Amino acid sequence: MQVEMNQTDISQQRKSFENLYIKVRELEGRIFSDNEVKELPHVSRNNPHYREWYLRAQTSERILAYLKTLKMPLKILDLGCGNGWFTAKLANLDQVEVLGLDINSRELEQANRVFQLPNLRFDYGDIFKDIFPEQSFNICTINSAMQYFPDLNKLLNRLNYFLAEKGEIHILDSLVYLPYQVQSTKERSRFYYRELGVEEMADHYFYHSFDDFRKYSYDLFYNPLSLKNNLKKLIGLKVSPFPWIKITKSEL
């Protein structure tokens, strides 16, 4: 009886988070029609988040080019896939099978409507449950979703279980902070959500610093703080603020 009650509580918590998440996305203008999702990451110049999507398009181009260099069949997990636009981009590569996973049923339904490929599927599921066999994937991507996981170490260890030998985790399009920035960013974020009218969302949004990765021998494939990128910013060029972090199974 107690187990059933706990499962019900967890289910209710997920639904509560999903409703809150969708409300925030609606308020921020981040809910797209099916036709708009098909075109992502390309959006109209009138979109309030045009600059962000311009930079995210560059991210997707970078990792797609990288995965092509591996020249081997790949089983890919896209964790936190949302409406599936990036998952579908991955599925357009040769010799891949791709699974998009999320706990957001509304966006998963849209993903299933919009993107239908024989090597692509979308599932509702909790990564911390035994939903896949061990060593099921060669690649795991976390694209603009790391901020919804409170315990980075727990997440990476869990993904390690599902990775094949020499498998890779790629963290994309999420901000990673310098340690001294975390507290002030939390405070600004809570103020932002309070002004938006959904302050409770601040309790579901988490901030990870480069210190959180210190125990892993990771590769920084794209560094927004590099000298090259700082020089670009000085001359007014658009530079993505999102690092691209790769961690291989052997380094976890």
Residue 226 pLDDT: 94
Residue 204 pLDDT: 94
pLDDT in tens, 8-35: 444 666 778 899 999 999 999 999 999 9
pTM of the model: 0.93
> Rounded mean pLDDT of 173-181?
96
Residue 191 pLDDT: 97
List domains and CATH numbers for the chain: 17-251 (3.40.50.150)
Residue 13 pLDDT: 65
SS (H, E, C) the chain: CHHHHHHHHHHHHHHHHHHHHHHHHHHHCCCCCHHHHHHCCCCCCCCCCHHHHHHHHHHHHHHHHHHHHHCCCEEEEEECCCCCHHHHHHHCCCCEEEEEEECCHHHHHHHHHHCCCCCEEEEECCCCCCCCCCCCEEEEEEECCHHHCCCHHHHHHHHHHHEEEEEEEEEECCCCECHHHHHHHHHHHHHHHHHHCCHHHHHHCCCCEHHHHCCCCCEEEECCCCHHHHHHHHCCCCCCCCCEEEEEHHHC
pLDDT in tens, 105-123: 999 999 999 999 999 999 9
pLDDT in tens, 63-107: 999 999 999 999 999 999 999 999 999 999 999 999 999 999 999
